Amino acid sequence: ASITRFPLIRVRGVPLMSYIANNFDSVWDFRPDPSDILIATYPKAGTTWTQEIVDLLRHNGDAEACKQAPTPVRSPFLEISSPPPIPSGLDLLNKTDPPRIIKTHLPFQMVPRGFWENKCKTIYVARNPKDNLVSYYYFDQMNMTQPEPGPWEGYIHKFMRGELSWGSWYDHVKGYWLEREKNNILYLFYEDMKENPRREVERIMRYLDLDLSDEVLSRIVELTSFKNMKENPMTNYSCVPAPVFDLSVSAFMRKGEVGDWTNHFTPEQTKMFDEDCEKQMRDVNIPFRSLI
């Protein structure tokens, strides 16, 4: 089958792949149910990890039950938009009964208003920018629907200028941060999840008003380890219809580490990036432990 690397079209100033940009009105009109749970991230911040944790929490740690419910289509595809040839995210959502675990990479101001009006539980995950960028660079190589990443040095500049698909990382993390209290958004950090996954799983559990046993929590932490998720066909994205992902270029579960950026940035690139990052983040104090 042929596959398209979708060009980027700006909607309200944010570059989005054409399949979503051209359908943005129907995305904007989507009405969630108050019981729906939203997982929002800039791409590559730990979306899939968080989806798996939430799915297991809601199924009391029963991985088999997760495979059956809520539909034959697993929660990774319950996105307000999904690239063809994956069926339209909106179509899948409309065929699935609430409560649904919905993921989005849309920046806060472009998320359908119904999520906030209905007070849907929303989990945001942020990851330090240089690791996020490195992960996105590999993803753009292996995801044949994303725009071509081009050479590494130029990619860094595109990230800094907010020219990648879904827009500026800086605006994204700030947008949700500034809205977190008003909209009761649980704001998590990838680095915290790596440091103490059990603590963060419990945090998500409490946020979702669930109360699971120690034994079940331990099982969920184990099932959502990088090693287990890399082997699990439901989470390593080997289930994504070919040829969307070329897993021979890069695995979806690639490395799963903090600090992989040190293997990619030269000292000059680090200096340039960090100086720019400090400027772009000056107006908000988000407690990243390793912003630069």
Query: Sign of dihedral through CA atoms 262, 267, 268, 271?
Result: positive
Catalytic site includes residue 157: no
Of residues 118-157, those binding ligand A3P (CB under 6 A): 135, 138
Of residues 250-279, those binding ligand A3P (CB under 6 A): 253-256, 260
Torsion angle, alpha carbons of 78, 82, 86, 90, to 10:
60
Q: How far is the CB of 152 from ligand A3P (least distance, A)?
A: 15
Q: Residue 99, preceding bond cis, omega within 30 degrees?
A: yes
Of residues 215-244, those binding ligand A3P (CB under 6 A): 224-226, 229
Quote the crossing angle between the two packed helices 129-142 and 267-281, to the nearest 10°: 110
Amino acid at 167: G
10 Å CB burial of residue 233 (0-12, 13-18, 19+) is exposed
112's CB contacts (< 8 A; 6+ apart) are 27, 28, 29, 30, 31, 32, 80
Q: Segment near ligand A3P (CB under 6 A), from 11-19, 82-90, 248-256, 280-288?
A: 248-256
The whole-angstrom separation of Cα 55 and Cα 46 is 14
Binding footprint of ligand A3P, residue count (CB under 6 A): 19
Of residues 155-184, those binding ligand A3P (CB under 6 A): none
Q: Active site residue: 59, 105, 157, 172, which one?
A: 105
The whole-angstrom separation of Cα 288 and Cα 292 is 9
Of residues 38-57, those binding ligand A3P (CB under 6 A): 41, 43-49
Q: What angle do CA 25, 26, 30 make, to 5 degrees?
A: 120
Tokens representing residue 112 in the block: 């359908």
12's CB contacts (< 8 A; 6+ apart) are 109, 110
Q: Which residues bind ligand A3P (CB under 6 A)?
A: 41, 43-49, 135, 138, 224-226, 229, 253-256, 260
What residues act catalytically? 105
